[in-house]
Chain A
Amino acid sequence: MFVQRDRYAKLEEAAGYQIAAEIASLVADVSSAYYAIVQQQKLVNMTRQSMELSKKRKEISDAKRLRRGLNTTNCWER
Protein backbone atom coordinates (compact mmCIF):
# COMPACT_ATOMS: atom_id res chain seq x y z
CA MET A 1 0.00 0.00 0.00
CA PHE A 2 2.82 2.39 0.87
CA VAL A 3 5.23 1.48 -1.89
CA GLN A 4 6.91 4.89 -2.15
CA ARG A 5 7.48 5.06 1.61
CA ASP A 6 9.02 1.58 1.56
CA ARG A 7 11.13 2.53 -1.46
CA TYR A 8 12.57 5.60 0.27
CA ALA A 9 13.27 3.55 3.40
CA LYS A 10 15.17 1.01 1.28
CA LEU A 11 17.10 3.74 -0.54
CA GLU A 12 18.05 5.26 2.81
CA GLU A 13 19.23 1.86 4.01
CA ALA A 14 21.26 1.37 0.82
CA ALA A 15 22.87 4.79 1.27
CA GLY A 16 23.82 3.80 4.82
CA TYR A 17 25.52 0.65 3.54
CA GLN A 18 27.32 2.60 0.83
CA ILE A 19 28.70 4.97 3.44
CA ALA A 20 29.71 1.99 5.59
CA ALA A 21 31.51 0.44 2.60
CA GLU A 22 33.35 3.71 1.89
CA ILE A 23 34.40 4.04 5.55
CA ALA A 24 35.56 0.42 5.68
CA SER A 25 37.58 0.91 2.49
CA LEU A 26 39.16 4.05 3.94
CA VAL A 27 39.95 2.31 7.24
CA ALA A 28 41.56 -0.54 5.28
CA ASP A 29 43.72 1.91 3.32
CA VAL A 30 44.77 3.78 6.46
CA SER A 31 45.52 0.54 8.32
CA SER A 32 47.56 -0.74 5.40
CA ALA A 33 49.55 2.50 5.24
CA TYR A 34 50.12 2.38 9.00
CA TYR A 35 51.52 -1.17 8.85
CA ALA A 36 53.71 -0.15 5.90
CA ILE A 37 55.18 2.63 8.07
CA VAL A 38 55.70 0.20 10.95
CA GLN A 39 57.46 -2.18 8.58
CA GLN A 40 59.74 0.57 7.30
CA GLN A 41 60.57 1.64 10.87
CA LYS A 42 61.47 -1.92 11.75
CA LEU A 43 63.62 -2.14 8.62
CA VAL A 44 65.47 1.00 9.71
CA ASN A 45 66.04 -0.50 13.17
CA MET A 46 67.22 -3.71 11.61
CA THR A 47 69.68 -1.85 9.38
CA ARG A 48 71.00 -0.01 12.46
CA GLN A 49 71.51 -3.32 14.26
CA SER A 50 73.22 -4.67 11.19
CA MET A 51 75.53 -1.66 11.21
CA GLU A 52 76.33 -2.28 14.89
CA LEU A 53 77.19 -5.85 14.05
CA SER A 54 79.44 -4.73 11.21
CA LYS A 55 81.18 -2.30 13.55
CA LYS A 56 81.71 -5.11 16.01
CA ARG A 57 83.14 -7.25 13.23
CA LYS A 58 85.44 -4.42 12.25
CA GLU A 59 86.60 -4.01 15.86
CA ILE A 60 87.43 -7.68 16.10
CA SER A 61 89.20 -7.54 12.77
CA ASP A 62 91.18 -4.46 13.84
CA ALA A 63 92.15 -6.14 17.10
CA LYS A 64 93.36 -9.15 15.17
CA ARG A 65 95.39 -7.00 12.81
CA LEU A 66 96.89 -5.15 15.73
CA ARG A 67 97.90 -8.43 17.28
CA ARG A 68 99.59 -9.35 14.02
CA GLY A 69 101.29 -5.96 13.93
CA LEU A 70 99.48 -4.61 10.86
CA ASN A 71 98.29 -1.03 10.44
CA THR A 72 94.48 -1.07 10.66
CA THR A 73 93.84 2.49 9.47
CA ASN A 74 95.48 1.97 6.11
CA CYS A 75 93.66 -1.29 5.67
CA TRP A 76 90.12 0.20 6.09
CA GLU A 77 90.86 3.41 4.26
CA ARG A 78 92.14 1.67 1.20
Chain B
Amino acid sequence: MKSQNPNLEIARINKDLSELDIKAYRSNYYPKVNLLGGYQHSKNNFPPGFSFTQNTTRNGLLYGFGISWNIFNGTYVSPNLQSARIEFINQDYRYNENELLLSSQLYESYRDYEANISLVRLETDNLELARENVNIALEQYQLGVINDIDLRAIQLKQIESETNLLVSQFRAKQSEIELKLISGSLTVSD
Protein backbone atom coordinates (compact mmCIF):
# COMPACT_ATOMS: atom_id res chain seq x y z
CA MET B 1 0.00 0.00 0.00
CA LYS B 2 2.89 2.33 0.84
CA SER B 3 4.49 1.74 -2.54
CA GLN B 4 1.47 3.38 -4.19
CA ASN B 5 2.02 6.70 -2.44
CA PRO B 6 3.43 9.18 -5.00
CA ASN B 7 5.38 11.25 -2.46
CA LEU B 8 7.19 8.19 -1.17
CA GLU B 9 7.93 7.10 -4.72
CA ILE B 10 9.34 10.55 -5.51
CA ALA B 11 11.57 10.25 -2.42
CA ARG B 12 12.76 6.85 -3.68
CA ILE B 13 13.53 8.32 -7.12
CA ASN B 14 15.51 11.17 -5.51
CA LYS B 15 17.53 8.55 -3.70
CA ASP B 16 18.14 6.71 -6.98
CA LEU B 17 19.15 9.98 -8.64
CA SER B 18 21.73 10.72 -5.96
CA GLU B 19 23.08 7.19 -6.46
CA LEU B 20 23.43 7.95 -10.17
CA ASP B 21 25.34 11.13 -9.25
CA ILE B 22 27.86 8.99 -7.38
CA LYS B 23 28.23 6.81 -10.46
CA ALA B 24 28.71 9.88 -12.65
CA TYR B 25 31.46 11.32 -10.42
CA ARG B 26 33.10 7.94 -10.04
CA SER B 27 33.28 7.60 -13.82
CA ASN B 28 35.90 10.38 -13.85
CA TYR B 29 38.39 7.85 -12.46
CA TYR B 30 37.87 5.47 -15.37
CA PRO B 31 39.39 5.71 -18.85
CA LYS B 32 37.21 7.21 -21.57
CA VAL B 33 36.75 5.66 -24.98
CA ASN B 34 35.68 7.97 -27.80
CA LEU B 35 34.31 6.59 -31.02
CA LEU B 36 33.93 8.70 -34.12
CA GLY B 37 32.58 8.07 -37.56
CA GLY B 38 31.50 10.02 -40.60
CA TYR B 39 31.25 10.19 -44.33
CA GLN B 40 32.89 12.85 -46.48
CA HIS B 41 31.96 13.93 -49.96
CA SER B 42 33.52 16.98 -51.63
CA LYS B 43 33.71 18.22 -55.20
CA ASN B 44 35.75 21.25 -56.34
CA ASN B 45 35.69 22.92 -59.73
CA PHE B 46 38.50 25.43 -60.45
CA PRO B 47 38.66 27.73 -63.48
CA PRO B 48 41.45 27.06 -66.01
CA GLY B 49 44.80 28.59 -65.03
CA PHE B 50 43.91 28.80 -61.35
CA SER B 51 45.20 25.42 -60.35
CA PHE B 52 47.02 22.46 -61.79
CA THR B 53 44.01 20.28 -61.20
CA GLN B 54 40.76 21.60 -62.51
CA ASN B 55 38.33 19.21 -60.87
CA THR B 56 38.71 17.21 -57.67
CA THR B 57 36.18 14.83 -56.18
CA ARG B 58 36.58 13.07 -52.86
CA ASN B 59 34.45 10.39 -51.28
CA GLY B 60 35.34 8.63 -48.14
CA LEU B 61 34.31 7.03 -44.91
CA LEU B 62 35.92 8.31 -41.71
CA TYR B 63 36.13 6.26 -38.56
CA GLY B 64 38.27 5.95 -35.53
CA PHE B 65 38.46 5.75 -31.81
CA GLY B 66 40.39 7.33 -28.99
CA ILE B 67 41.20 6.45 -25.41
CA SER B 68 41.89 9.01 -22.69
CA TRP B 69 42.57 8.59 -19.01
CA ASN B 70 42.75 11.53 -16.71
CA ILE B 71 45.40 10.77 -14.12
CA PHE B 72 45.30 14.09 -12.27
CA ASN B 73 42.60 16.72 -12.62
CA GLY B 74 43.25 19.19 -9.86
CA THR B 75 41.69 17.10 -7.03
CA TYR B 76 38.19 18.31 -7.79
CA VAL B 77 36.68 14.84 -8.37
CA SER B 78 37.20 13.54 -4.87
CA PRO B 79 35.29 16.32 -2.99
CA ASN B 80 32.45 16.10 -5.53
CA LEU B 81 32.26 12.37 -5.06
CA GLN B 82 32.22 12.78 -1.31
CA SER B 83 29.44 15.38 -1.60
CA ALA B 84 27.45 13.01 -3.80
CA ARG B 85 27.86 10.23 -1.23
CA ILE B 86 26.69 12.53 1.57
CA GLU B 87 23.73 13.58 -0.58
CA PHE B 88 22.86 9.92 -1.14
CA ILE B 89 22.90 9.29 2.62
CA ASN B 90 20.69 12.38 3.10
CA GLN B 91 18.24 11.15 0.50
CA ASP B 92 18.18 7.74 2.17
CA TYR B 93 17.31 9.39 5.50
CA ARG B 94 14.63 11.46 3.80
CA TYR B 95 13.13 8.35 2.24
CA ASN B 96 13.06 6.57 5.61
CA GLU B 97 11.58 9.66 7.24
CA ASN B 98 8.84 9.82 4.59
CA GLU B 99 8.15 6.14 5.04
CA LEU B 100 7.75 6.52 8.81
CA LEU B 101 5.60 9.61 8.37
CA LEU B 102 3.40 7.80 5.89
CA SER B 103 3.04 4.82 8.24
CA SER B 104 1.93 7.06 11.09
CA GLN B 105 -0.46 8.99 8.83
CA LEU B 106 -1.92 5.76 7.51
CA TYR B 107 -2.44 4.41 11.01
CA GLU B 108 -3.98 7.66 12.21
CA SER B 109 -6.29 7.93 9.19
CA TYR B 110 -7.42 4.32 9.52
CA ARG B 111 -8.16 4.85 13.21
CA ASP B 112 -10.15 8.00 12.42
CA TYR B 113 -12.03 6.16 9.68
CA GLU B 114 -12.95 3.31 12.02
CA ALA B 115 -14.02 5.73 14.74
CA ASN B 116 -16.18 7.68 12.31
CA ILE B 117 -17.80 4.51 10.97
CA SER B 118 -18.65 3.48 14.54
CA LEU B 119 -20.04 6.94 15.14
CA VAL B 120 -22.25 6.64 12.04
CA ARG B 121 -23.67 3.35 13.35
CA LEU B 122 -24.28 4.90 16.74
CA GLU B 123 -25.95 7.98 15.30
CA THR B 124 -28.14 5.80 13.04
CA ASP B 125 -29.41 3.88 16.08
CA ASN B 126 -29.86 7.15 17.92
CA LEU B 127 -31.92 8.59 15.07
CA GLU B 128 -34.17 5.52 14.93
CA LEU B 129 -34.87 5.95 18.62
CA ALA B 130 -35.49 9.66 18.20
CA ARG B 131 -37.99 9.00 15.38
CA GLU B 132 -39.76 6.40 17.48
CA ASN B 133 -39.89 8.90 20.34
CA VAL B 134 -41.44 11.52 18.07
CA ASN B 135 -44.14 9.05 16.89
CA ILE B 136 -44.95 8.12 20.48
CA ALA B 137 -44.91 11.76 21.52
CA LEU B 138 -47.32 12.70 18.71
CA GLU B 139 -49.78 10.06 19.89
CA GLN B 140 -49.37 11.24 23.47
CA TYR B 141 -49.85 14.81 22.36
CA GLN B 142 -53.06 13.92 20.55
CA LEU B 143 -54.28 12.24 23.72
CA GLY B 144 -53.24 15.25 25.77
CA VAL B 145 -50.67 13.42 27.89
CA ILE B 146 -47.88 15.85 26.95
CA ASN B 147 -48.04 19.54 26.10
CA ASP B 148 -46.67 21.58 23.13
CA ILE B 149 -43.33 22.29 24.77
CA ASP B 150 -42.61 18.63 25.48
CA LEU B 151 -43.49 17.65 21.93
CA ARG B 152 -41.31 20.43 20.56
CA ALA B 153 -38.42 19.30 22.75
CA ILE B 154 -38.73 15.73 21.47
CA GLN B 155 -38.95 17.00 17.91
CA LEU B 156 -35.81 19.07 18.42
CA LYS B 157 -34.04 15.95 19.68
CA GLN B 158 -34.88 14.23 16.42
CA ILE B 159 -33.57 17.17 14.39
CA GLU B 160 -30.41 17.13 16.45
CA SER B 161 -29.97 13.38 15.88
CA GLU B 162 -30.48 13.76 12.14
CA THR B 163 -27.94 16.59 12.00
CA ASN B 164 -25.46 14.55 14.03
CA LEU B 165 -25.90 11.60 11.69
CA LEU B 166 -25.29 13.76 8.63
CA VAL B 167 -22.19 15.31 10.19
CA SER B 168 -20.81 11.91 11.18
CA GLN B 169 -21.51 10.52 7.69
CA PHE B 170 -19.68 13.47 6.16
CA ARG B 171 -16.73 13.00 8.51
CA ALA B 172 -16.60 9.29 7.70
CA LYS B 173 -16.46 10.09 4.00
CA GLN B 174 -13.78 12.71 4.58
CA SER B 175 -11.64 10.26 6.51
CA GLU B 176 -12.21 7.62 3.81
CA ILE B 177 -10.99 10.07 1.15
CA GLU B 178 -7.98 10.97 3.29
CA LEU B 179 -7.16 7.32 3.87
CA LYS B 180 -7.33 6.60 0.15
CA LEU B 181 -5.24 9.69 -0.64
CA ILE B 182 -2.49 8.68 1.77
CA SER B 183 -2.48 5.07 0.64
CA GLY B 184 -2.35 6.20 -2.99
CA SER B 185 -5.45 4.25 -3.94
CA LEU B 186 -7.57 7.30 -4.78
CA THR B 187 -8.44 7.19 -8.46
CA VAL B 188 -10.80 9.07 -10.75
CA SER B 189 -13.30 6.17 -10.59
CA ASP B 190 -13.70 6.80 -6.82
Q: Are B20 and A28 in touch, CB under 8 angstroms? A: no
Q: Are B166 and A3 in touch, CB under 8 angstroms? A: no
Q: Are B13 and A10 in touch, CB under 8 angstroms? A: yes
Report the count of interface residues on B (CB-CB < 8 A).
Answer: 40
Residue of B nearest to A30 (CB): B188
Q: Does more than half of chain B's interface fall in helix, strand or loop, or is it mixed?
A: helix
B178 proximal to A (CB < 8 A): yes
Q: Are B166 and A42 in touch, CB under 8 angstroms? A: yes
Mask of B141-160 contacts with A, CB within 8 angstroms, 1/0: 11010001001100100110
- What's the interface size class on A, roughly? 20 to 34
A52 to B155, CA, bound (A): 11
Q: Which residues of B contact A32 (CB under 8 A)?
A: 173-174, 177
B100 proximal to A (CB < 8 A): no
Q: Are B141 and A57 in touch, CB under 8 angstroms? A: yes
A78 proximal to B (CB < 8 A): no
How close is A14's CB to chain B, nearest CB, in angstroms? 4
A11 to B21, CA, bound (A): 13
A43 to B52, CA, bound (A): 102
Q: Are A43 and B163 in touch, CB under 8 angstroms? A: yes
How close is A74's CB to chain B, nearest CB, in angstroms? 16
Q: Which residues of A contact B167 (CB under 8 A)?
A: 39
Q: Are B170 and A23 in touch, CB under 8 angstroms? A: no
How close is B176's CB to chain A, nearest CB, in angstroms? 9
Q: Are A25 and B181 in touch, CB under 8 angstroms? A: yes
Q: List 22 A-B contacts (CB under 8 A).
A: A3-B24, A6-B20, A7-B17, A10-B16, A11-B17, A17-B6, A17-B9, A17-B10, A20-B184, A21-B7, A24-B181, A24-B186, A24-B187, A32-B174, A35-B173, A43-B163, A43-B166, A46-B163, A50-B158, A53-B134, A54-B155, A61-B148
